[in-house]
Amino acid sequence: MATHRRQRRPLVFVRDLVPGTAVDSCFLLRGATLGGGNGPKLRARIWDRTGDAQLIAWQWDSAAPLVDGAYHVAGSVNVYQGNVQIAADRIEACPPDTDLQELLPTAPRSVAGMWGELERLCATCGHPDLHALLHLCLNDAALCEQWRRAPAAVLHHHAYAGGLLEHTLGVINVALSLAEHFPAADRDLLLAGAVLHDIGKTEAYTTTGLPDMTDRGRLLGHVYPGVRLVDGLIEQLPGFPQELRDRLLHVIGSHHGEREFGVLEVPRTPEAILLHYADNLDAKMKAVTAACEDSRGRAWTGPVRSLGGERIYLGTENNGVLFAPREPLEDILNQGLFAFDAPDPDPFDEDGFGANGR
C-alpha cells in the first residue's frame, strides 16, 4: 500500500500578514507577559526575518508566560492602533520538521565579504604594535569562527548570525569618519578600539539557533570579557607599550558610555569618546532602519525599543520605499526648473554678492 508523506505547511512571514485573514503558521516568539482584568491574558511579540508584530491571546490557562522560542500559532490577523497584530486562538510547539532557519534573520551581506572588508581595514593600521595585535587577533581561528557567527545583540540591533561582524564594520567606518573631523583622536588607536570593542560578545552570545546569551554572558556581560580577551592577546606580544595597552583597554572597557550600561569606566580619552558615540549611532540607526523597512507604507513606524519606544515619522507620502530613486541632478537642471536671470558676479567676489557686499 502506498504511503503519502505529509507536506510541510508553508510558512507565513510577518510582512505578509493581512488584516482580516486567518493565520496558521510558525513564528518566533519573545517577551511574553501575562495580563489580567478585561484585557488579553497573554501578550508577546512574534517575529521572523521579515519583521515583528504584536500577539495577544484572550484565553490563556497557564500560570506562566511562554518562554522565548518558536511556536505554531493559529488565529486571526487584525489592526490595533495602526499596527498589525495576531489574536491567537491556539499556541503550541512547532512541528518537528519545521525549518527554523527560514525564520531566522540573516546578515544582509555575505560573511565572507564582510570579513574581507575587516581585513582590509585592519591592514590600514599604521602603528606597529596595534597592527601586530590586530594581525594576531585575525589569525586566531577559534576566535574568528565565533566572531563570524555571533549576533551583536539578542533583540535591539544586528540580532542575527553575522550581526556582530556587520556591527563591527559599521562602528569602524563611523569612527574613522569622525576621526577625520576630530584630529585630537589617534586614528590607529581608534581603529583598533573599534575593531575589538565588542570582541567579548564572542563569549557572551550563542552562535547557533536563536540569538541568546550564554551563561557567561548573563553573569559577566560582554565588556569585561572583552577587556580580558584583548589583554590576553597583548600578553602574547612582548614589548607592547604599557600606556598604549591601558589606553586601548580603556577604549574597549568604556564604550557603553555610562556606568548604568555596564562600563568599567566612563570614556576619558578622545578615542574612547568617539568610539562610544560611533557604537551608539550604528546600533541606534540599525534599529531605526529596521523599523522604517517594516513600516508597510505608514507615516509612522512602530515603536523602536532602543529609542525608548519612540516612533519614527516617515511622512504621509511614504510608499514603503526608504530611498526612492530620484532624477539625476543634471536632468533636473536641463528641465530649467532652477533657471533664472542674474547679473554676473563681481569677479573678485567668490560668494557672488557683488562689489557692494550684499
pLDDT digits (tens, 9 = 90+) for 120-157: 999 999 999 999 999 999 999 999 999 998 888 877 77
Say which residue, 329 or 15, is predicted with more confidence: 15
| pLDDT score at 6 | 45
Asked if the model's pLDDT at residue 31 lies above 70, the reply is yes
| pLDDT score at 88 | 93
| pLDDT score at 338 | 44
| pLDDT score at 9 | 67
The whole-chain average pLDDT of the chain stands at 83
Asked if the model's pLDDT at residue 340 lies above 50, the reply is no
* pLDDT tens per residue, range 194-223: 999 999 999 888 877 777 788 898 899 899
**Chain mean position to CA 98:** 26
**Judgement on whether residues 87 and 160 belong to the same structural domain of the protein:** no
Whichever domain contains 85, its CATH number is 2.40.50.140
Q: What are the CA-CA distances from residue 30 to residues 27, 34, 194, 246 (Å)?
A: 10, 13, 30, 40
User: By three-state DSSP, how is residue 70 classified?
Assistant: strand
| pLDDT score at 342 | 43
| pLDDT score at 354 | 39
How many helices (H) and strands (E) are present in the chain, helices listed first? 11, 5
Phi, psi of 79, deg, nearest 5: -120, 130
- Is 170 part of a structural domain of the chain? yes
**Judgement on whether residues 181 and 270 belong to the same structural domain of the protein:** yes
- Is 352 part of a structural domain of the chain? no
| pLDDT score at 36 | 76
Tally of structural domains, the chain: 2
In this structure, are residues 171 and 279 in contact, taking their beta carbons and an 8 Å threshold?
A: yes
| pLDDT score at 176 | 96
| pLDDT score at 231 | 97
% the chain with pLDDT above 70: 85
Local confidence band at 85 (pLDDT 50, 70, 90 cut-offs): very high
- Is 235 part of a structural domain of the chain? yes
Whichever domain contains 159, its CATH number is 1.10.3210
* pLDDT tens per residue, range 152-197: 887 777 878 889 999 999 999 999 999 999 999 999 999 999 999 9
Question: 45 pairs with which residues across the strands?
Answer: 30, 54
| pLDDT score at 319 | 56
| pLDDT score at 326 | 47
Mean pLDDT along residues 249-256? 94
- Taking Cα atoms as reference points, which of 46, 292, 293, 275 lies closest to residue 167? 275
**Structural domain of residue 76, as residue ranges?**
14-98
* Final residue of a structural domain among 263, 290, 317: 290
* pTM attached to this predicted model: 0.72
**Judgement on whether residues 124 and 272 belong to the same structural domain of the protein:** yes
| pLDDT score at 297 | 76
